[in-house]
Amino acid sequence: MKRRLMIARALMHEPKLLILDEPTAGVDIELRRSMWGFLKDLNAKGTTIILTTHYLEEAEMLCRNIGIIQHGELVENTSMKNLLSKLKSETFILDLAPKKPAT
């Protein structure tokens, strides 16, 4: 409820720039997805949104550009697509042993 109120208060004057600090932290998944839809609509209507998040899924869903700050220094400023292409991926194959019959 506090998160919704925070965003509603920020929107009262129809700002062209909206800065949100972890707007979905601590909310359930339904509210998080609802907020994502709302923020995407708001951005489509012309509002620039700067947000901080620890959720890569959220950044991927909402952001065209992403900046990463480490120890107070901007260490990355790129598109989400370029950032994801830089990440290393690992593949794990899990081979389960067959069940042993009960004795």
Residue 83's pLDDT is 83
Residue with tokens 């919704």, as numbered in its chain: 4
% of the chain exceeding 90 in pLDDT: 18
The pTM for the full model equals 0.68
Any idea what DSSP says for residue 46? T
Render pLDDT for 9-27 as a digit per residue (tens, 0 to 9): 878 888 899 888 888 888 8
Q: What is the CATH number of domain 2-81?
A: 3.40.50.300
Phi, psi for 84 (deg, rounded to 5): -65, -35
**Domain ranges across the chain:** 2-81
pLDDT digits (tens, 9 = 90+) for 61-82: 888 888 988 999 999 999 988 8
